[in-house]
Amino acid sequence: MGGSTQSLKQKAGSAAVEFVQSGMVVGLGTGSTAIWAVRRLAELIDSKKLAGIVAVPTSAATEAEARKLKISLTSLEAHPSVDLTIDGADEVDPNLNLIKGAGGALLREKIVAQASRRLMIAVDESKLSLQLGQNRPVPVEVVRFGWKTQQQFLEDLGASVCLRIGTDEKMFVTDQGNYILDCRFGPIHNVFQLSAQLNGRTGIVEHGLFVRMTTDLIVAGSKGIDHRKAIT
């Protein structure tokens, strides 16, 4: 099974959908791998191989794609417990901890993830890392008011901080109306400690460290599909 990165992303996303069963409430992730899962799910619904599916999107972009594909949508208010969420990740360590948020949807993604009985992350093998932070920055979503004070706080923690700019050359604004600071910490030696420090800071809305949340990991690589489960 070789192929381009896009081909591997498609295979990972499609493989994750094989775990969806009729009647499920499904969380729909955001990003270049998760979108393949959304499209594959729509195919299975359209071909009648799956029925009774309702989905909770994690971003406005995913919601728009799901509506276009005629996937029935719902909300966490109507279904506060999600059976299975399929999402991607930017970096994954051997313990299935993640860095997420390159697409800017980390807040909604984490809300849906924590409401899920099962969080299935689909990635291509390039996203695997021995230690989080080696390859990707940690996105930190902050309220606009006083955002520079959050930058100083993050720099004091050892990060190189960059305010995210959108494709229109203006400050990137999340679906919730906040800014994102991309923080390069380098290899993170204690993700639990850093997560706790970020969680405790007023003005930081959410961050891209997803620790002890993943139940399943689907990896598409040159040797095929690898399904890994979290050690409980």
CA 187 to chain centre: 20
Q: What length does the chain have?
A: 232
Locate all alpha helices (DSSP H) within 47-171, ordered by sequence.
Answer: 60-68, 106-114, 147-156
Q: Which of 65, 91, 109, 206 is catalytic?
A: 109
Nearest Cα residue to 88 out of 64, 73, 106, 75: 106
Q: Is 109 a catalytic residue?
A: yes
CA distance 54 to 91: 28
* Residues ≥6 apart with Cβ < 8 Å to 59: 30, 103, 104, 105, 108, 109, 175
Residue at 139: amino acid letter? P
Cα four-point dihedral sign 100, 119, 213, 227: negative
- Which strand ranges, in their side-by-side order, compose the sheet holding 119-124? 54-57, 25-28, 84-87, 119-124, 216-221, 224-229
Instruction: Give the H/E segment covering residue 9.
Output: helix 5-17
CB 107 within 8 A of CB 141: yes
The set of catalytic residues is 109
